[in-house]
Structure 1
Amino acid sequence: MRSVSRLVFYKIGETGFCLISTIMETILKEQLIFAAQKTLRIGQKKNFSASRCLGLFAEILAVDSELKPAFLFDYSLAKSEQVQNYIQEIQKIGLFSQDLHILSMEENVLIINLNKTIRHLERTLQENRVPIIDVSAHRSSPSLAETCVSKQVKAQLDLLLKHLKSQVVQKGRCELGVVSASKIFSSEWNLCTMFGFLLGFPAAYWFDFSTSFENCLSMTELRVFSVSAFCHQITKNLKHQMYSFSIPEILYLELQSIVACWNRDLQSDFIKQSNFSELNISTEITCQPAITL
């Protein structure tokens, strides 16, 4: 009789726990959706869909979890101030643990994990790991960038690193709970290249935009890498894509060791966090008539 009672009590307790867990999960999702729709709306345009709101949160949670240095906000035409307000709303829920920073580069807005990005850029420059792929339109095929281009990009990354370090100092003077923001841009910068490094890709594309914004990737075989994982705070049956980047197949052997190192670093970072599970890194070869960078 006692064993039956214990079993009934256990079953009731288990059901109650599952019910509470489901309710909490629903409330959390509603909070995340409300935060995005409240702060990122543009004029009278229709609000973000629920799935879009949750996908945006997963993108930024990956940055907060140090799985990537930054996220380029491309969900809407919202200004940096709106994105800043959005991050502050999410912080009130208590889901972020890192110093997130809003960085504006011309009309582009990035959400940056300051500590992760600074370490990433320092390591990139110190270890001379600045793999740049020249895809300028005048080339017949992609190639590794010439030394003069690499030196130029290194100088630009060093300038960006100094700017971010200065933001850490200034952040200490901000009010508690206020998300810091700054702007930096130079007309000499190829933003495609800068974003490649800021977003944590193992290699970045570069092209001579003084002559053309086109590239030579048309009908070029590209090895596309996709990284995904489950985000249990969002959904238990749909994986979230954290990375998607490509490397020309013609250069893959030359860059294979760099990609392998990037892979090991990502897996090491993944083990240290608990917001995402079941990491999956896949590759496929594609060939498209036109590639926009």
Structure 2
Amino acid sequence: MSNRTLFDAAARKCLLVGRKSLPVTLSMDLAAQVLAVDLGLKPALLYDSNCASVEQVQQYLISLQSAHLVSESLITLGINDNALIVNPAMIITNLERVLLASPVTVFNVCHLLEKPIIVAPLSGDLRGMIQDLLTILKQYVQVPNTKKLSLDGDESKNWNLCTLFGYLLGYPVTYWFDQNKGFENCLAMTPLMVIKASVTWKAETDVHRCCLYSFSIPALLHQETVSTLENWHLQLKDRFHQQTVLCDLILHQSIVTLPAVCL
């Protein structure tokens, strides 16, 4: 069986919701995303192809590893019913860099503000959240033969998952809001620059275009984030050139204005 067929078979077997399996296009996209995590092009993927559970995503990953399609180093991370497939070594390195050098720009988008502002990236609870997760991950990777880490209790109940996922997914920017003041934001009708990085996966006779990264920044703060975005892009290109599985890295930018933005 071809690798593409094996990826698709694993998705159909493990990620079934009701009687519906993943369409081939989504299965291919998911496969390319997992390969990107395994190759170190991105530290993690947040599973959102359908409503499959964390346990189902874990079984999907185990199936890929059993077929030697991806390495044994990848793990499933569950945070409050959200499933991620992560490269733990890359995640740990990235979080350590965040604590030491603050390479990620943080936007405060609290609904009480007239417009988004840039804030100190690791003030107060943010630093504690990163330190707590880093400690848990370091302890976890020392335990042999474990494939899944679930954080659904006291460890994560006060974490701002919007901000945390920005860090985990390797974005150069992330959004933050004070959860004690509500979960709404001030991004409605605010021009946003959407930045996407895509690659091509040539799986035998199939060619699939896949979006590896997609994030946004308030357009009015673009100039303040230019150096952060350039550094992120240079590092992505460097990692991209160290592998040969995925090709044709393209960065695309567009401006959107939406009546409401859900984070």
Calculate the TM-score normalised by the size of structure 2.
0.93
- Alignment-derived partner of residue 219 in structure 1: 189
Secondary structure of the corresponding residue to residue 150 of structure 1: coil
Quote how far apart the aligned CAs of 1:160 are.
Answer: 0.7
- Alignment-derived partner of residue 35 in structure 1: 10
Equivalent in 189, 212, 221 of residue 251 of structure 1 = 221
- Alignment-derived partner of residue 291 in structure 1: 261
Structure possessing the higher radius of gyration over alpha carbons: 1
C-alpha distance in 1 between matches for 2:187 and 2:52: 31
Count of residue pairs the alignment pairs up: 261
Structure 1: runs of 5 or more not aligned: 1-23
- Alignment-derived partner of residue 156 in structure 1: 129
What pairs up with 1:207-286 in 2 under 5 angstroms? 207-233=177-203, 237-286=207-256
C-alpha distance in 2 between matches for 1:180 and 1:187: 19
Structure 2: runs of 5 or more not aligned: none
Instruction: Note the alpha carbon deviations across 1:14-51, whole angstroms, 9 max, x for none.
Output: xxxxxxxxxx6xx3322221111111112x33111111
Equivalent in 127, 130, 133 of residue 107 of structure 2 = 133
- Alignment-derived partner of residue 80 in structure 2: 106
- Alignment-derived partner of residue 122 in structure 1: 96
The share of aligned pairs that are identical, in percent, is 36
More strand by share: 2
Secondary structure of the corresponding residue to residue 252 of structure 1: helix
Q: Which runs of 4+ in 1 moved over 3 A?
A: 234-238
Equivalent in 172, 194, 200 of residue 202 of structure 1 = 172
Q: Quick check: 2:28–2:208 contact (8 Å CA) kept in 1?
A: no
- The answer to whether residue 147 in structure 2 is matched with residue 179 in structure 1 is yes
C-alpha distance in 2 between matches for 1:261 and 1:234: 33
More helix by share: 1
Calculate the TM-score normalised by the size of structure 1.
0.84
- Alignment-derived partner of residue 20 in structure 1: none
Counterpart of 2:8, as a letter, is I
C-alpha distance in 1 between matches for 2:61 and 2:108: 35
